[in-house]
Amino acid sequence: MPDEQETIAPELETPIEGEVEGNEPELELAEDVADDTDESEGEDEDDGLEDVDIDGRNFRLPKGVQARLMKDADYTQKTQALAAERKELADRREALNQRFQAAEQEVALTGMLKQAESALQQYQSLTEADWNQWFQNDSEAANANWRRYEMLQRASSQGKQELEQLQKARTDAAEQETASRLRETLEYAQKNIKGWSLARDAKITEFAVKEIGIPVQMLHKFLRPEYYKVLHFAELGFQASQKPVAPPKPAQPPAKPLETIKAKAAPPVRKTLREMSVEDHAKHIRQENKARYG
C-alpha cells in the first residue's frame, strides 16, 4: 500500500494538459451545457404530459389519460346506479313475493277456520247430558266424535292464533311501507318545494281533506312525492282563486282640446284737452269738424 501511494502522488502532480493550453475546454463545456439546457427546455414545452386534478391533488400524466379516467368514472357511476336499481327491483320483487305468499296462507287459513267453525257448531249444541247419553248408547261412536270435537277445538284455536299473526304482520308491513313513503315525501318536499314548512304541510293536508274530500287515512296510505307535488300546486291555485279581484278602473274620457280665447281689443285711450299736445289738439279738431260737417 505505501508503494501504491507513492506511484499515485506523482500522477496527481503531473499538470493537466487542458490547464497548460488554456481555458478553451471550459468554454466548450459551457457551450455543451447550454445546448443541453436548450434541449431540455424544448422538451418541457411539449413533453406529452398534462396536469390532471384527482381528488384535489395535481398530477402530470400522459395526454389522453384524463379522458380515459373520466370515461372509466362515468362507466363506474352508471354501473353502480344500475346495480342499485337492480337491487331495488329485486328487493321489491322479494317483498311482493312474501306478501303474495302471506296472502295465500291467510286465505287458506281463513277457509280452514270456517270449516272448523262449521263442524264445531254440530257439537256445541250438545249438552253434557247429551254426551253422557251418547256414551251409554254407543260408546265407540261417542268416543270418536269426542276426539274429533277436541281436535276441531285445537285446530280452531291454533288457526286463530296463526291468522292473528299473519294479519298483524300484514298490518305492520303496511304501516312500515306507509311510514317509508311519508318519509320519502317529506324529504322530497324539504328539498324541492321552496319555502316548505310544517305549516305549509298543514295547509296542503287541509286543502286535500276539506276541498277535495280525501280522507286523512287514505291520503297517508297513498301519498307519494309526485302526488304531493300536485296537491302543492293545486292548493296554491286555490288560494289564488280566493283572493278578491280588483274591479277594472273606469275608462277615462278623452281630454277636450283647449279653447283658444282671443283677447278683446282694448278701447282707445282718450286724452283730455289739457293732456293733448298741440298736434293732437289740431288733429282732434279736424276729426270733429269732419264728423260734424262731413
| Burial tier of 208 (Cβ tally within 10 Å: 0-12, 13-18, 19+) | buried
DSSP helix/strand/coil, 62 = strand
In a domain? residue 43 = no
Which of 178, 204, 230 lies at the terminal end of a domain, its last residue? 178
Note the Cα 212 to chain centre separation in Å: 26
Residues 6+ apart with CB under 8 A from 52: 58, 59, 60, 61, 65, 66, 69
Which of 148, 178, 208 lies at the terminal end of a domain, its last residue? 178
* 226 in the same domain as 123: no
Phi, psi of 270 (to 5 degrees): -95, 135
| Least confident range of 16-20, 74-78, 202-206, 225-229 | 16-20
Percent of the chain with pLDDT over 70: 75
In a domain? residue 264 = no
* 114 in the same domain as 215: no
Residue 100 to residue 93: CA distance in whole angstroms = 10
Which amino acid is residue 66, in one-letter code? Answer: Q
DSSP helix/strand/coil, 127 = coil
Rounded to the nearest 10 degrees, what angle do helices 139-192 and 65-124 cross at? 150
Residue 49 to residue 63: CA distance in whole angstroms = 5
pLDDT at 33: 43
The 10s digit of each residue's pLDDT in 188-197 is 999 999 888 9
The 10s digit of each residue's pLDDT in 218-255 is 888 888 899 999 999 999 999 888 888 777 777 777 76
**H-type alpha helices, 125-224:** 128-137, 139-192, 198-206, 216-222
Q: HSE-up of 255 (CA within 13 Å, CB side)?
A: 3
In a domain? residue 258 = no
Residues 6+ apart with CB under 8 A from 208: 214, 219, 231, 235
In a domain? residue 213 = yes
In a domain? residue 260 = no
* 235 in the same domain as 130: no
In a domain? residue 44 = no
Residue 61 to residue 179: CA distance in whole angstroms = 50
Query: How many domains are there within the chain?
Result: 2
| Least confident range of 33-37, 100-104, 169-173 | 33-37
Phi, psi of 242 (to 5 degrees): -85, -15
Measured from the Cβ of residue 222, the count of other Cβ atoms closer than 10 Å reads 11
* 120 in the same domain as 82: yes
C-alpha cell at 178: 306507509
| Local confidence band at 210 (pLDDT 50, 70, 90 cut-offs) | very high
In a domain? residue 9 = no
* 160 in the same domain as 118: yes
pLDDT at 52: 77
In a domain? residue 267 = no
Residue 170 to residue 100: CA distance in whole angstroms = 11
Residue 231 to residue 204: CA distance in whole angstroms = 7
The answer to whether residue 24 scores a pLDDT higher than 70 is no
* 210 in the same domain as 152: no
294 or 224: whose pLDDT is higher? 224
pLDDT at 138: 92
Q: Which is nearest to 145 in space by CA: 128, 117, 123?
A: 123
Q: Are 152 and 117 in contact (CB under 8 A)?
A: no
Q: For residue 58, list its beta bridge partners.
A: 53
* 204 in the same domain as 114: no
* pLDDT, mean over the chain: 77
For residue 71, the surrounding DSSP H or E stretch is: helix 65-124
List the domain range (segments joined by +) for residue 158. Answer: 65-178
* 135 in the same domain as 102: yes
DSSP class of residue 212?
Answer: I
